[in-house]
Structure 1
Amino acid sequence: MELENIKKILGLPFYENKYGLIYNMDCIEAMKILPPNVIDITFTSPPYNIGKAYENVMNVESYVEWCYIWLKEIHRITKHDGSLWLNIGYLFLPHTGKAVPISYLLWNKTSFYLQQEIVWNYGAGVACKNMFSPRNEKILWFVKDENNYIFNLDAIRDKNVKYPNQKKNGKLRCNTLGKNPSDVWQIAKVTSGKGRMSSERTSHPAQTPVDLLDRVILGGSHEQNIVLDPFMGSGSTAISAIKNNRRFICFEIDRNYCKLAEKRIMSFIQEREEPHEQLYLFRE
């Protein structure tokens, strides 16, 4: 299904361009009116239920039930060879654990097949005194069909190979495009603070780095595929989709974050197109 047909179903978006659509809607309400088998790949990082400014904190049972509902809708609207990449952190579970991985609570709350758990290791974070300082989150890679799914390994190979010319029986041991990046991804977090603020930093308190999105989208989809993010936040998924020649549909319930993402996307497109305009002037 083309974006124009999806637009006819969902109505006028908050923002649109030739690459995709942003809707200022509750994602569950929006996904429920979409037909099945229309989305190629979903990446999302939902609220962690830990008291961020954009969250309505629930008891853990209610939180898991809420997640079950939107996970069910994502599965329904995903194509047969599609996938879901779910980025989740930790929460406090009363009388059970201080930092329980949300993956422990959600991994089996969906009809998707769990292909793999990926550990995202980032370099900066909270410093702790009575426990180890957290430096990772999880990405659960789900596929709809365990025997038929998109995985473009060559598109995401790590070129940082220690011994690229090493041979065995006269043949190169390493792929000339690079090595498999493994299931531990060392990708910098979007940081804030004087002297350490990331160049892509926005006002969103839990911003996903575009580098992380690039690996997911390049590895898990083809060009022109439709990428969904039900909890858009600052718009990193849309930025990566545009950058990598995909189409996007994003839902965000907070209108201020929709405005933030719109501004960020427009700025990205302008910067992306400026070099081409300059080259055109030199050809005159």
Structure 2
Amino acid sequence: MFEGVKMFLDIKRTLGTPYYESDNCLIYNTDSLTLLSKIPQESINLTITSPPYNIGKSYESILPVDEYINWCTKWMHSLYHVTAKDGAFLLNLGYLEVPQKGRAVPISYLLWDKSPFFMQQEIVWHYEAGVASKKYLSPRNEKFIWYVKDKKHYTFNLDPIRDPNVKYPNQKKRGKLRCNPLGKNPGDVWCFPKVTSGENRSSKERAKHPAQFPIAVIEKFILGMSNENEIVLDPFLGSGSTCIAALKHNRKVIGFEISEEYCELAAQRIGDYLNEDQMSFTNWNTML
């Protein structure tokens, strides 16, 4: 615990004054490559992030595919050096078009081996809402690549992320339960609703960001791939969902975001969460 506190303070001293700060949370308004090179070596326990997909969203400029791959390779190499020996990296990716090669090519196919990390597994995030098409199948999933720094020594907490949806939870064999009472082992396809927008269908957590994570997805990674008081990083912070999920489960968290507009959005969402959390705590104490 104290080691995590010390490392968090060391990182803050190294990176300087953040755009936003609260207990256990730092946000910096900057390009991720600039600050990744300044973070002390082997100080980040878990990174969860979703970089621009190179498809022309409002916050990105489309690069030739080769340039995009080179850019991702640079920041992933920098990330490797700041990741703890038993640390992990979760990379969320969608699809892009490769000219003359393919329409909806999973970006993970282009990047999976472009860093020194060991690719542990691909995790598929399935959802129902999304873009519809009349000429090809409608995309209804995105990939998370689970990387570890050391393939033999890494954090994996099975119990907090077990699947409680067991068909026969009390089934026994020779008098012993066949299934763990906490739930079955989770698979590599996770079903979580997408953060949707639009009249009469907008998600409760929807913010003004075109590519927003559901907090529930990030929570599952944080519980499974990190421990309390460890340091979580999101170098492409966006609307701040990684910060909220990390704070919710007693982790320390650092985010980089190049857009000041999105830094402000993330700061507002985090502040709202902390205020709601404090109100819930106060109300609970009052009931007691």
TM range (shorter): over 0.9
Take 1:55 and 1:145, find their aligned partners in 2: how far apart are those partners? 33
Match of 2:3? Answer: none
Take 2:186 and 2:133, find their aligned partners in 1: how far apart are those partners? 29
Aligned length: 283
Match of 1:43? Answer: 48
Match of 1:139? Answer: 144
SS at match of 1:2: helix
- When normalised by structure 1's length, the TM-score is 0.98
Q: Which runs of 5+ in 2 are unaligned?
A: 1-5
Match of 2:82? Answer: 77
Deviations 1:101-131 (A, max 9, x none): 0000000001000000011101211111010
**1:2 Cα deviation from its structure 2 partner:** 2.2
Does 2:124 correspond to 1:128? no
* CA 173–123 in structure 1, closer or farther in 2 if over 3 Å, else same: same
**1:281 Cα deviation from its structure 2 partner:** 4.3
Pairing of 1:27-38 with structure 2 (within 5 A): 27-38=32-43
Q: 2:236 aligns with which of 231, 240, 243?
A: 231
Give the % identical residues.
53
Q: Which amino acid aligns with 1:143?
A: V
Take 1:228 and 1:137, find their aligned partners in 2: how far apart are those partners? 20
Q: 1:12 aligns with which of 9, 17, 25?
A: 17
Match of 2:218? Answer: 213
Q: Which amino acid aligns with 1:196?
A: R
**1:22 Cα deviation from its structure 2 partner:** 0.3
Does 2:171 correspond to 1:157? no
SS at match of 1:100: strand
Does 2:173 correspond to 1:178? no
Deviations 1:44-86 (A, max 9, x none): 0000000000011100000000000000011000000000000
SS at match of 2:271: helix
**1:280 Cα deviation from its structure 2 partner:** 3.9
**1:278 Cα deviation from its structure 2 partner:** 2.5
Take 1:166 and 1:55, find their aligned partners in 2: how far apart are those partners? 52
**1:169 Cα deviation from its structure 2 partner:** 2.5
* CA 205–163 in structure 1, closer or farther in 2 if over 3 Å, else same: same
RMSD across aligned positions (CA): 1.0
SS at match of 2:219: helix
Q: Which runs of 5+ in 1 are unaligned?
A: none
- When normalised by structure 2's length, the TM-score is 0.96
CA contact (8 A) 1:81 1:148 kept: yes
SS at match of 1:84: strand
Q: Which amino acid aligns with 1:218?
A: L
